[in-house]
Protein backbone atom coordinates (compact mmCIF):
# COMPACT_ATOMS: atom_id res chain seq x y z
CA UNK A 1 0.00 0.00 0.00
CA UNK A 2 1.30 3.48 -0.87
CA UNK A 3 1.65 6.49 1.38
CA UNK A 4 -1.64 8.44 1.62
CA UNK A 5 -2.04 12.09 0.60
CA UNK A 6 -0.76 14.44 3.35
CA UNK A 7 -0.02 11.61 5.80
CA UNK A 8 0.01 13.69 9.00
CA UNK A 9 -0.40 10.62 11.22
CA UNK A 10 2.64 8.90 9.67
CA UNK A 11 4.67 12.10 9.94
CA UNK A 12 3.78 12.58 13.61
CA UNK A 13 4.57 8.95 14.39
CA UNK A 14 7.94 9.08 12.62
CA UNK A 15 8.95 12.34 14.31
CA UNK A 16 7.93 11.03 17.75
CA UNK A 17 10.34 8.12 17.23
CA UNK A 18 13.22 10.60 17.30
CA UNK A 19 11.80 12.82 20.05
CA UNK A 20 10.37 15.60 17.87
CA UNK A 21 6.85 16.85 18.47
CA UNK A 22 4.48 18.40 15.94
CA UNK A 23 3.09 21.62 17.37
CA UNK A 24 0.69 22.65 14.59
CA UNK A 25 -0.43 21.60 11.13
CA UNK A 26 -2.02 24.01 8.66
CA UNK A 27 -3.01 22.92 5.17
CA UNK A 28 0.21 21.49 3.65
CA UNK A 29 2.56 22.75 6.41
CA UNK A 30 3.68 20.92 9.55
CA UNK A 31 5.20 23.08 12.27
CA UNK A 32 7.57 21.51 14.77
CA UNK A 33 7.83 22.33 18.45
CA UNK A 34 10.55 24.98 18.98
CA UNK A 35 10.47 25.78 15.21
CA UNK A 36 13.89 24.32 14.36
CA UNK A 37 12.41 23.33 11.00
CA UNK A 38 9.09 22.84 9.26
CA UNK A 39 7.80 20.34 6.75
CA UNK A 40 5.63 20.81 3.70
CA UNK A 41 3.68 18.05 1.98
CA UNK A 42 4.20 17.61 -1.75
CA UNK A 43 1.46 16.67 -4.22
CA UNK A 44 2.23 13.01 -3.52
CA UNK A 45 1.96 11.68 0.03
CA UNK A 46 5.41 10.11 -0.07
CA UNK A 47 7.16 13.45 -0.75
CA UNK A 48 7.87 15.98 2.01
CA UNK A 49 9.93 19.15 1.88
CA UNK A 50 12.20 20.25 4.71
CA UNK A 51 12.87 23.91 5.54
CA UNK A 52 15.30 24.88 8.30
CA UNK A 53 14.57 27.93 10.42
CA UNK A 54 17.10 30.69 9.70
CA UNK A 55 17.69 30.84 13.46
CA UNK A 56 18.74 27.17 13.61
CA UNK A 57 22.51 26.67 13.37
CA UNK A 58 23.56 25.07 10.06
CA UNK A 59 25.08 22.01 11.76
CA UNK A 60 21.93 21.44 13.84
CA UNK A 61 19.69 21.93 10.80
CA UNK A 62 21.65 19.29 8.86
CA UNK A 63 21.52 16.89 11.83
CA UNK A 64 17.73 17.31 12.06
CA UNK A 65 17.47 16.72 8.30
CA UNK A 66 19.50 13.49 8.47
CA UNK A 67 17.49 12.13 11.42
CA UNK A 68 14.12 12.97 9.86
CA UNK A 69 15.24 11.63 6.47
CA UNK A 70 16.23 8.32 8.11
CA UNK A 71 12.88 7.75 9.88
CA UNK A 72 10.84 8.92 6.91
CA UNK A 73 12.77 6.62 4.59
CA UNK A 74 11.90 3.68 6.82
CA UNK A 75 8.22 4.56 6.32
CA UNK A 76 8.50 4.85 2.53
CA UNK A 77 8.61 8.65 2.42
CA UNK A 78 11.15 10.91 0.73
CA UNK A 79 12.44 14.11 2.36
CA UNK A 80 13.78 16.90 0.15
CA UNK A 81 15.84 19.79 1.56
CA UNK A 82 14.33 23.02 0.21
CA UNK A 83 16.40 25.61 2.10
CA UNK A 84 15.32 27.89 4.91
CA UNK A 85 12.36 29.83 6.23
CA UNK A 86 11.81 32.81 8.50
CA UNK A 87 8.85 33.65 10.74
CA UNK A 88 8.21 37.32 11.43
CA UNK A 89 5.65 38.98 13.65
CA UNK A 90 2.92 40.97 11.98
CA UNK A 91 0.08 43.03 13.36
CA UNK A 92 -1.48 41.64 16.53
CA UNK A 93 -0.90 37.91 16.76
CA UNK A 94 -0.36 37.49 13.02
CA UNK A 95 2.81 35.76 11.79
CA UNK A 96 4.35 35.90 8.32
CA UNK A 97 6.16 32.93 6.85
CA UNK A 98 8.91 33.58 4.28
CA UNK A 99 10.63 30.80 2.33
CA UNK A 100 14.24 31.58 1.43
CA UNK A 101 16.92 29.99 -0.79
CA UNK A 102 14.38 28.44 -3.13
CA UNK A 103 15.05 28.33 -6.83
CA UNK A 104 12.14 28.78 -9.28
CA UNK A 105 12.55 25.11 -10.25
CA UNK A 106 12.08 24.09 -6.58
CA UNK A 107 8.82 26.03 -6.38
CA UNK A 108 7.53 24.28 -9.51
CA UNK A 109 8.67 20.75 -8.53
CA UNK A 110 6.39 19.93 -5.64
CA UNK A 111 6.32 16.18 -5.87
CA UNK A 112 4.07 15.66 -8.87
SS (H, E, C) 66-87: HHHHHHHHHCCCEEEEEEEEEE
Note the pLDDT of residue 80: 96
Q: Where are the domains of the chain?
A: 8-108
pLDDT digits 0-9 by tens, 30-43? 999 999 999 999 99
Note the pLDDT of residue 2: 76
Instruction: For the chain, list residues with pLDDT below 50.
Output: 104, 112
How far apart are the C-alpha atoms of 48 and 95, rounded to whole Å? Answer: 23
2-29 in b/e form (b: 16+ CB < 10 A) is: ebeebbeebbeebbeeeebebeeeeeee
This prediction has a pTM of: 0.86
Amino acid sequence: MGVPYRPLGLVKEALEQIGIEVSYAYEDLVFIQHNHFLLQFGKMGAILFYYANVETAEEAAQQFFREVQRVFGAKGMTLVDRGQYRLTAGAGEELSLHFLNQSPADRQDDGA
